[in-house]
Amino acid sequence: MYKETLLMMPGPVPMPETVRNAMTKQAMNHRSKDFGDCYAEIVKILKPVFGTSNDMLVLSGSGTAGQEAAIGSFAKDKKIVSLVNGKFGERLGLISKIYGPTQMLESEWGHPLNLEGLAESLENGAEVVTMVHNETSAAILNPAEEVGKLCKKHDALFILDGITSIGGDVFKADEWGVDVAIVGSQKCLAAPAGLAAVSVSQKAWDRLSENRPFYLDLKKAKKSADLSPMETPTTPAVPLFLALRESCKLIEEEGIENRIARHQKMSAAVRAAGKTWGLKLVPQVDALHKASNTVTGFFYPEGIEDSKIRGACKKMGIEFAGGQDRLKGKIFRIGNMGIIDTPEILATVAAVQMCFKKTGYKLEGDGLSAAVEVLSQ
């Protein structure tokens, strides 16, 4: 390909040049001041992005490593409730089942969570709650604050996957009572894939599990991070740390409020386009559940094949996501995570509109104009 594909996926996402270049550095000793300074700078910048003053640890491994580290370190052999309304909530539940007795409270993907069921489970002694804040598979934003309140009321640990909200949407770990929050590097942080950052409350440390995983033991990660200079227990993915530091610097430069406002505006433009086209949003929203501000999902109209739209856009050089598992072939999802801004949104909305036109399908209205309207505000 003579030009780069425009990645409009809900992760991985396009990376700024300084981030990419950071990965070409010569190898360094990871038990050095240079590495420790890099780790420290990442943590310093990410804490306010998480809305926390708790400990923060960076793990070599994708977002799932962060999920498993959290559950393996704090939920082993405890009574766990996993809220599920999509692929990633389900994943938290499947990991939980390996570590302790788990009740999966499942809703249809993209539908509101079963909060009544959760309250009942907490009454009956559930000790740990797992949940996904921004459920990427169904493009729905789940009510973290409400669930945090329930966990606090019943003194349960709250493990929250903020993998596609942290760095792109409002996230207030401490205010919401989140004990363990998780982010992945290749989503809203616009860094390369392969790192997870996890924040841990004192309440969680006080309830550390006896038997923990070896590689993903957060206690060991903390012991190394508490050294000066900061370290990791085993050899970290140094080039990824160096790249993540550059991403963090750019987040600090933009300002997290501005960054969140940009994500909200870009997703609003995509939603406006879809509404004008007459497409149905994937998430079933209510007073507590909202459409995601970092990824937007639409159902395909009857008779439209995934390959006709997504395949044709990819051929044009714009790639976005389809559905996962049970939603495969039924939906498409446009991400606006990281550094995605007006030009990328305009190009993507225009490409989708063109591809529908080419199939002969008559969309209800001019979604591109609707997107322009939102982006001009």
Which of 276, 293, 274, 292 is closest to 284 using CA atoms? 292
CB 229 within 8 A of CB 37: yes
Torsion angle of the four alpha carbons 82, 83, 86, 89, in this order, in degrees rounded to the nearest 10: -40
Shorter beta-carbon distance to ligand PLP: residue 52 or 292: 292
The distance of closest approach from Cβ of residue 161 to ligand PLP in the complex, given in angstroms and rounded to an integer, is 5
Compute the least distance from the CB of residue 8 to ligand PLP, in Å.
15
Could you tell me which of 263, 212, 247, 236 has the C-alpha nearest to residue 73?
212
Q: Which stretch binds ligand PLP (CB under 6 A): 58-66, 207-215, 326-334, 341-349?
A: 58-66
Taking CB under 6 A as the binding criterion, the range among 44-52, 61-69, 170-178, 279-287 that sits at the site for ligand PLP is 61-69
Identify residues 80-99 at the interface with ligand PLP (CB under 6 A). 88
Q: 153 to 212, contacts with ligand PLP by CB under 6 A?
A: 161, 163-164, 184
CB of 93 to ligand PLP, least distance (A): 12
In the complex, residue closest to ligand PLP by CB:
63
Which residues, 1 to 40, sit near ligand PLP by CB under 6 A?
11
Which of 54, 62 has the CB closer to ligand PLP? 62
Tokens of 306: 């995934």
Per CB under 6 A, the list member of 14, 36, 63, 323 interacting with ligand PLP is 63
Phi, psi of 273 (to 5 degrees): -60, -50
**Cα of 289 vs its chain's centroid, Å:** 16
Using the rule CB under 6 A, is 132 a contact of ligand PLP? yes
Cα gap 184→356, rounded to integer Å: 33
Least separation in angstroms between CB 11 and ligand PLP: 5
Closest among 76, 75, 70, 48 to 57, alpha carbons compared: 70
Which window, 62-70, 97-105, 210-218, 235-243, contacts ligand PLP (CB under 6 A)?
62-70
294 near ligand PLP, rule: CB under 6 A: no
Query: Which among 239, 304, 211 is positioned nearest to 26, based on CA atoms?
Result: 239
Q: Is residue 62 involved in binding ligand PLP (CB under 6 A)?
A: yes
Give the interface size with ligand PLP as a residue count (CB under 6 A): 11
How far apart CA 312 and CA 315 sit, in angstroms, is 5
CB of 162 to ligand PLP, least distance (A): 8
Nearer to ligand PLP, 58 or 351 (CB): 58
Pick the binder of ligand PLP from 136, 201, 276, 292 (CB under 6 A). Answer: 136
Residue 63 backbone dihedrals phi, psi, to 5 degrees: -50, -40
Smallest distance from ligand PLP to CB 238, Å: 19
Residues 128 and 118: beta-carbon distance below 8 Å: no
Beta-strand (E) ranges in the chain? 6-7, 55-60, 80-84, 102-106, 128-132, 134-135, 140-141, 157-161, 180-184, 195-200, 290-291, 295-299, 318-319, 331-335
| Residue ranges binding ligand PLP (CB under 6 A) | 11, 62-64, 88, 132, 136, 161, 163-164, 184
